[in-house]
Amino acid sequence: MTNISIPEIDIDTNRSHEPEDWRRFFGFSTDHKVIGIQYIVTAFFFFLVGGVFAMIIRGELLTPESDLVDRTVYNAMFTMHGTVMLFLWTFPVLAGLANYLVPLMIGARDMAFPRLNAIAFWMIPIFGIVLIGSFLVPGGPAQSGWWSYPPVSLQNPSGNLINGQFLWLLAIVLSGISSILGAINIVTTIFRMRAPGMTWFRMPVFVWAVLSAQIIQLFGLPALTAGAVLLLCDLVAGTSFYDPAKGGDPVLFQHFFWFYSHPAVYVIILPVFGIFSELFPVYARKPLFGYKVVAVSSLIITGLSAVVWVHHMFASGTPGWMRMLFMFTTMLISVPTGIKVFAWVGTIWGGKLRLDTPMLFAMGGLVMFVFSGITGIMLAAVPVDIHVNNTYFVVGHFHYVIYGATVMGIYAALYHWFPKMTGRMYNEGLGKLHFALTFLGTNLNFFPMHPLGLQGMPRRVASYDPEFAFWNVIASLGGFLLGMSTLPFLVNIVGSWVQGKKVSANPWRAIGLEWLIASPPPHENFEELPIVVAEPYGYGMNEPLVSNADKL
Amino acid sequence: MKKQTILTLAIAAIGIAAISWWVGQESYTWFPPQASAESILIDRLFSVLVTIGSFVFLGVVGALIYAVLFQQAGKYESGDGPPIEGNIPLEIVWTAIPFVLVMGIAFYSYKIYDQMEIRGPMEHDHSAAMVMSGSGDEIEVIAKQWAWEFRYPAQKVTSTELHLPVNQRAHLILKAQDVIHGFYIPAFRLKQDMIPGQAGNFEFTPILAGKYRLRDSQYSGTYFAAMQANVVVEPAADYQNWLRRSAATTPAIAHNTAFAEYNQKSTRAGWKTIVPAAPPIVNYSNPND
Amino acid sequence: MINTSEIDNSIESAAQNIAHHDESDNRMFGFIIFLLSESVVFLGFFIGYYVYKTNAVDWLPAGVSGLEIREPAINTVILVSSSFVIYIAERCLRQQNLWGFRFFWLLTMLMGSYFLYGQIIEWQGLKFGFTSGLFGGTFYLLTGFHGLHVLTGVLLQSLMLIRSFIPGNYDKGEFGVEATSLFWHFVDVIWIILFLLLYVWQ
């Protein structure tokens, strides 16, 4: 053990000059915990920005006519809403959680490449500014949807070389580089920085899920990059890769795009599965049901995610055999997902439930995830998809995934680890209010989209036939409620961070390496590296997790 | 397991199944009218999916609600639940059943798809020859930013309203002129993207006379939402009448929402847009559009 | 006093060695992941090329009958053999033969630079441009994107060459040298595929 504990002393003295107060959050810190919080806070800012765009969209859709904003503005709004929410909110906030939690959970003192980590983070505000800055160029921001399908994305009415679409592509490429750097860092950390005794099947499921998600980034993002480079050449240099007028093939872009962007959904949802798997055992006081199967099912999802992308293109001029093939692969992905859902129910069942805010969010998220999974299977069935593809049914489905399951899961994680990150407890009453408003708002906002889609209302429309007005008004009211629901959260987090009740190392009586050390954890996390001797969810078993708990 | 538990579970399962069956039957009412032969097949498939989905959803949510109601820890209780780490037979069952279930759904969907006999766009190469030798009742559908135009070449009729005879298989040739558009008639449950430069064949059978909406389903730029047209399904005699009357009418400029809106001075600030194509000049257009 | 501090020093340097070694291993692991990920970009372009070529109606632009294969073949031989030269350079470094390393390393750089030169000469002699249909677009995109990688490789190599003159710098092996060498092999393999696709398969 001595040869392991010595280099840390050395590193400690090297790095102790970094400021330890609030200022460290505004500098080029290489501490994974600081970077994690930087990610989360930056991402939340962009969440609010994307939310404002969503409010404008819902405001326009209150009435059937296009009467609130100009159609070009509306189109820019849904383009930017999707782009900001994916690339500046969900990816970064989950990268932040992974950054904060993975080293703690596997018993490492930091990520494998701390400086690379900081660089990857600081690219986020940079491309965020590029993207939001595109509102200022003549012609406005990109208006071709976050898919940016050519030829629409190649049309350039302003005639400028530096236009919204160009800046959009630039931001996406920067985002891709940032994500690749992050993915390399996280994968290397998980493979090579685990504490003694932390074997693969002693890793918390969150770590498994993050690993699976980041592997997707590594093989998926480069494909998107290749497709985006071709689009950029068409847009800037006048090549004809996607221009049908000059012999190009616009459908090829769709393949490039969805080869990444469908798996991207798993990049988002897998860590949330991880969060569910961490939280249910804590608040049900029972071991995770079928831990090994749940862990491995994440990797199975990673594998399957590479062979389902065409289901986004069932109506795009796809031959019949391809439609059938990808319908079967898509159906298959519900098997490992189903395993997880049943395992969570098995974990909760028969436990001693505590309905603290994190548990409420996690259970609410689970319910909405099950709903979205069922609509997902409907969408996978080609005949049904031919009808509802590109309608509000799809919009409803993926907002249940992305808001109902993902955002709820992220909130659950933020409440759950808030005491660990800050050393203080949040306000439970405000937390429950936040949950109630979010749960109600989400369902009011996104459920009406399903009947709208079944009735045949296409997505991305600024105006619609009056017959759709009823459900749209309800959805808009739900949307505004959802916007308001962030207020108690903000008040709670800011207030509690400043003057919340101080907490011990482990206020939830949770099992996990991160709960064995102080709240907030010290600079290099562990005095002595933990020696792990047990599986991660030993609730009710009275067995120690590590053999050197008092020396950490 | 105790006898009583099994009984309770069985009763719960039957109850949930009954509710699911009812929801599945209800699902037929969530759609527009069934105006094509294909829509009957799709609605039936959807109803089956709703029934199965409701059963799963109610089962999972029911279990969670039960746990929340009856399995909460007491306020000052700090003990743990039973340390059950898994149950191999149970895990095998809940892997196998979903696998069989989704594969069954996939096969059923495949059968439905087969019955629909949708001619995929990639088959257009050889079917182009077939169109040449066809009965001569093909209708050309032209989509451009942002107008629909329908051509009946045999009768030399052009229109901004799609007229189709009821209970006859319709043969359409889809042509997009600038960007990708989507041909979507919700009442027919049918949708097909139109790729510029690739004329695609599309076939279906309308079975219910009436007036329906055709919408662009693939985002096509600024006035995308305004790109709609009426579809009129009528008895064969009326259809022939309409063709004859239209052929005798001199072509005139049709009303086009995108074009009209573009040329109207707008008070709202916006950005520069692609200029809408000139309104089609057609024999027939409905002034009330 | 002296004794303990000496022991401390030796333990510390041993520990530093371990830490350094570990970190360098991590970096190699990370770099390999990066290369795997990067190869997917090329894979994407290759698939795009395949799809375009097999589906295009007018593949070659008017007045172009195909690509001249002789000069690029010579170029290919040079680039591929440079992979062996860089391997020799690496072996020299492992045997602490610093001058041998510098010689073969520089030779690799020259071969890489000649490849780039040959590429530019070829580009200048072509009768079609980047915007000449799908053929021109994919040709310049593939060769250009690969050329960018060769250029990056040469720049990395010159950096490693300069750093070899810092006394004692490469005594314990050097992650940068190993990574650059691996990168060079990667660029080489990509070129072989590219050569087969672009020049041989016509």
**Enclosing H/E stretch for A222:** helix A205-232
Both B110 and B184 in one domain: the answer is: no
**Phi, psi of A502, rounded to the nearest 5 degrees:** -70, 145
- pLDDT of the residue at B1: 62
Nearest-neighbour CA in chain A from B247: distance (Å): 31
- pLDDT for A2: 37
How near does any CA of chain C get to the CA of A527, in Å? 16
The answer to whether A79 contacts chain B (CB < 8 Å) is no
CATH number at residue C74: 1.20.120.80
Same domain, B101 and B179: no
Does residue C39 or residue C25 have the better pLDDT? Answer: C39
| pLDDT greater than 50 at residue C94 | yes
Residues 6+ apart with CB under 8 A from A77: A53, A56, A57, A60, A69
Q: Are residues B112 and B185 in the same domain?
A: no
CA distances from B10 to B6, B21, B57, B71, C16 (A): 6, 16, 17, 21, 66
CATH number of B161's domain: 2.60.40.420
Give the angle A95-A97-A99 at the CA atoms, nearest 5°: 65
Give me chain B's average pLDDT, please: 89
Q: What mean pLDDT do residues C195-202 have?
A: 91
Do C and B count as touching (3 or more CB pairs closer than 8 A)? no
Least confident range of A219-223, B249-253, C16-20: C16-20
Please answer yes or no on whether A218 and C33 come within 8 Å at the CB atom. Answer: yes
**Tell me, what's the pLDDT at A14?**
44
d(Cα C184, Cα C153) in Å, to the nearest integer? 6
CA–CA gap between residue B28 and residue C12 (Å, rounded): 76
In this prediction, residue A316 carries a pLDDT of 85
- C28 contacts in A (CB within 8 Å)? none
What pLDDT is stored for residue B123 in this prediction? 45
d(CA A355, CA A412): 12
In a domain, B289, yes or no: no
**For residue C8, what pLDDT is reported?**
52
CA Rg, chain A, in Å?
23
Query: Is A188 in Cβ contact with C26 (below 8 Å)?
Result: yes
Using CA coordinates, name the residue in chain A closest to B122: A319
Condensed to tens digits (0 to 9), the pLDDT of residues B140-183 reads: 999 999 999 999 999 999 999 999 999 999 999 999 999 999 99
The structure tokens listed for A357 are 């805010």
CA dist A296 and B177 (Å) reads: 49
C2 within domain boundaries? no
Parent domain of B47: 3-65+92-116
Dihedrals φ, ψ of B211, to 5°? -115, 125
For residue B231, being part of any structural domain is answered with yes
Pick the range with the lowest mean pLDDT from B95-109, B255-269, C114-128.
B255-269
**Most A CBs within 10 Å, among C11, C40, C53, C175, to test the A interface:** C40
Q: How high does pLDDT run on average in chain C?
A: 88
**pLDDT recorded at residue B14:** 96
- The pLDDT value recorded for residue C12 is 52
Instruction: Collect all residues of chain A within an 8 Å Cβ-Cβ radius of residue C16.
Output: 7, 10
Instruction: Compare all CA atoms of chain A with the CA of B191 and give the residue at the minimum distance.
Output: A386
**What span, in angstroms and rounded, lies between the C-alpha atoms of A93 and B217?**
33
- Say if residue C196 is exposed, middle or buried (CB neighbours under 10 Å; 0-12, 13-18, 19+): exposed
Same domain, B15 and B111: yes
Name the more confident of C172 and A255. Answer: A255
- What residue has token string 């980041």? A214
Is C148 an interface residue toward A (CB < 8 Å)? no
Residues of B in contact with A69 (CB under 8 A): 268, 270
Same domain flag for B213 and B146: yes
Which of A185, A218, A237 is the closest to C130 by Cβ?
Answer: A237
CA distances from A482 to A46, A53, A58, A64 (A): 16, 13, 11, 22
Asked whether residue B241 is assigned to any structural domain, the reply reads: yes
Closest CA to A375 of B202, B46, B212, B107: B46
Spacing of C-alpha A251 from chain mean position? 27
CA C78 to chain centre: 13
**Is residue B253 domain-shared with residue B175, that is, in the same domain?**
yes
| Tokens matching residue B90 | 């149970």
| pLDDT for residue C2 is more than 70 | no
What are the pLDDT digits (tens) for B73-89? 888 888 888 888 888 99
Q: With an 8 Å Cβ cutoff, are A226 and C51 in contact?
A: no
Rg (CA), chain B: 27
The pair of structure tokens assigned to B240 is: 């022939």
Q: Does any domain span residue B80? A: no
Structural domains of chain B, count: 2
Q: What is the DSSP string of A404-446?
A: IIIIHHHHHHHHHHHHHHHSEEPPHHHHHHHHHHHHHHHHHHH
Report CA dihedral (A25, A28, A30, A31) to the nearest 10 degrees. -10
- CB-closest option in A334, A341, A352 to B80: A352
Distance CA B27, CA B45 (A): 11
- Same domain? For B224 and B112 the reply is no
Domain that holds residue C107: 40-200
In Å, how far is C107's CA from the nearest CA of chain A? 32
pLDDT reported for residue B77: 83
C165, part of any domain: yes
pLDDT of residue A282: 96
In CATH terms, the fold of domain A29-551 is Cytochrome C Oxidase; Chain A (1.20.210)
Q: Are A27 and A19 in contact (CB under 8 A)?
A: yes
DSSP state of A543: -
- Among chain A residues, the shortest Cα distance to B269 is held by A70
C143 versus C175: which is more confidently predicted? C143
**Residue B35 counted as domain residue:** yes
* pLDDT of C9: 53
CB B73 within 8 A of CB A354: yes
What span, in angstroms and rounded, lies between the C-alpha atoms of B212 and B185? Answer: 7
Q: Does C71 touch chain A (CB under 8 A)?
A: no
Residues 96-135 of A with CB under 8 A from C: 112-113
Kindly list the residues from chain A whose CB atom is less than 8 angstroms away from the CB atom of residue C48.
226, 230, 241, 252, 256
CB atoms within 10 A of CB A137: 16
Looking at the structure, do residues B248 and B146 belong to the same domain, yes or no? yes
**Per-residue pLDDT tens digits of chain A, which is 552 residues long:** 334 443 444 444 444 445 567 778 888 899 999 999 999 999 999 999 999 999 999 999 999 999 999 999 999 999 999 999 999 999 999 999 999 999 999 999 999 999 999 999 999 999 999 999 999 999 999 999 999 999 999 999 988 889 999 999 999 999 999 999 999 999 999 999 999 999 999 999 999 999 999 999 999 999 999 999 999 999 999 999 999 988 899 999 999 999 999 999 999 999 999 999 999 999 999 999 999 999 999 999 999 999 999 999 998 878 888 999 999 999 999 999 999 999 999 999 999 999 999 999 999 999 999 999 999 999 999 999 999 999 999 999 999 999 999 999 999 999 999 999 999 999 999 999 999 999 999 999 999 999 999 999 999 999 999 999 999 999 999 999 999 999 999 999 999 999 999 999 999 999 999 999 999 999 899 999 999 999 999 999 888 999 988 888
Which of A98-112, B7-21, C22-36 is least confident? C22-36
A139 and B271 within 8 Å at the Cβ level: the answer is: yes
Please state the ipTM of this predicted complex: 0.93
Whether residue C15 lies within 8 A of chain A, CB to CB, comes out as yes
Residue B75 covered by a domain: no
User: Binning pLDDT at 50, 70 and 90, where does residue C62 land?
Assistant: confident
Q: Are residues B243 and B162 in the same domain?
A: yes
3-state class of A502 per DSSP? strand
Residue B98 and residue B151 in one domain? no
Asked if residue B79 is part of any domain, the answer here is no
- Kindly report whether the peptide bond that precedes residue A196 is cis, defined as omega within 30 degrees of 0: no
Q: What is the 3-state secondary structure (H, E, C) of chain B?
A: CCHHHHHHHHHHHHHHHHHHHHHHHHHHHHCCCCCEHHHHHHHHHHHHHHHHHHHHHHHHHHHHHHHHHHCECCCCCCCCCCCCCCCHHHHHHHHHHHHHHHHHHHHHHHHHHHHHCCCCHHHHHHHHHHHHCCCCCCEEEEEECCEEEEEECCCCEEECCEEEECCCCEEEEEEECCCCEEEEEHHHCEEEEECCCCCEEEEECECCCEEEEEEECCCCCCCHHHCEEEEEEECHHHHHHHHHHHHHCCCEECCCHHHHHHHCCCCCCCCCCCCCCCCCEECECCCCC
Buried b (16+ CB within 10 A) or exposed e, A327-366: bbbbbbbbbbbbbbbbbbbbbbbebbbbebbbbbbbbbbb
| pLDDT (0 to 100) of residue C86 | 96
| DSSP assigned state of A87 | I
Q: How far apart are the first and last CA of chain B?
A: 67
Report how many domains make up chain C: 1
Task: Identify the band that residue B134 occupies on the pLDDT scale cut at 50, 70 and 90.
Answer: very low
Residue A383 to residue B72, Cβ atoms within 8 A: no
| Phi, then psi, of A165 in degrees rounded to 5 | -65, -40
Angle CA(C50)–CA(C52)–CA(C55) in degrees, nearest 5? 100
Q: How far apart are CA A395 and CA A446, in angstroms?
A: 8
